[in-house]
């Protein structure tokens, strides 16, 4: 699966899409593939404050629990409630099945994230 060039990525395998002052966050194809069948997603409530690099929830496959880390700081503006009943969407369409949308606190934090090419190189080295 191709990694969209307009996303930013983290070494913890989250993706971030920036539109104006809003950031949309999900997990990468590599992440869902490593996890296997996803059966549970635990996400913060609207209004929760996220700090860059800190855990904001979990995604669970049948076998494992994995923490989600905020790529940047911000305030939760929207949560993808559909994942409550259909968490498997994260497996089938990881780059569309977003988890949360946040209002960015400091747009300059984005500069520290990986480009699609950097991320692809990073996961190739991880193998």
Partner 1 sequence: MSASVEASEVRKTALNKVHREMGAKMVDFNGWDMPVEYPGSGGLIAEHLAVRNSVGLFDVSHMGDIRLHGPQALAAVQHMTMNDAAKLSIGQAQYSALLYPQGTFVDDVIVHRLGENDYLLVINAGTREKDFNWVRGSAEGFDCEVEDLSDNYTQIAVQGPNGWKTLQKLTDVDLTQVKFYWFTHGTVCGLPNTLIARTGYTAEDGFEIYVPADEATSARVWKALMDAGKEFGIVACGLGSRNTLRLEGKLPLYGHEISDSITAWEAGLDRFIKMDKGDFTGRAALEKQKAEGIKRTLVGLEPIERGIPRDGYKVFNLDGNEIGFVASGSYGPFLRKNIALAYVPIEQSQIGNEVAVEIRANRVKCKIIPVPFYKRPKKA
Q: Residue numbers of the site for partner 1 (CB under 8 A)?
A: 10, 12-14, 27-28, 31, 33-34, 36-37, 39-40, 42, 58-63, 65-69, 84
23-53 as b/e: b if 16+ CB within 10 A: bbbbbbbbbbeebeebeebebbeeeeebebe
Nearer to partner 1, 21 or 33 (CB): 33
Phi first, then psi: give them for residue 61, nearest 5 degrees. Answer: -95, 180
Beta carbons of 94 and 31 less than 8 angstroms apart: yes
Q: Which two three-digit tokens encode residue 71?
A: 């790529």
Nearer to partner 1, 40 or 121 (CB): 40
Whole-number minimum distance, CB 88 to partner 1, in Å? 9
The Cβ-side half-sphere exposure at 46, using a 13 Å CA radius, reads: 5
Whole-number minimum distance, CB 91 to partner 1, in Å? 8
Nearer to partner 1, 106 or 126 (CB): 126
Whole-number minimum distance, CB 33 to partner 1, in Å? 8
Which H helix or E strand runs over 85?
helix 82-85
Whole-number minimum distance, CB 65 to partner 1, in Å? 7
Nearer to partner 1, 40 or 112 (CB): 40
């Amino acid at each position: 699966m191709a990694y969209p060039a307009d996303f930013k990525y983290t070494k913890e395998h989250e993706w971030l899409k920036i539109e104006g002052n809003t950031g949309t966050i999900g997990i990468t194809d590599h992440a869902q593939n490593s996890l296997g069948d996803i059966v549970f997603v635990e996400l913060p409530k609207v209004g929760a404050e996220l700090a860059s690099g800190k855990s904001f929830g979990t995604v669970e496959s049948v076998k494992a629990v994995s923490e989600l880390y905020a790529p940047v700081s911000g305030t939760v503006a929207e949560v993808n409630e559909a994942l409550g009943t259909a968490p498997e969407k994260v497996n089938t369409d990881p780059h569309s099945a977003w988890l949360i949308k946040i209002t960015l606190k400091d747009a300059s934090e984005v500069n520290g994230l990986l480009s699609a090419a950097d991320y692809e190189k990073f996961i190739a080295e991880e193998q």
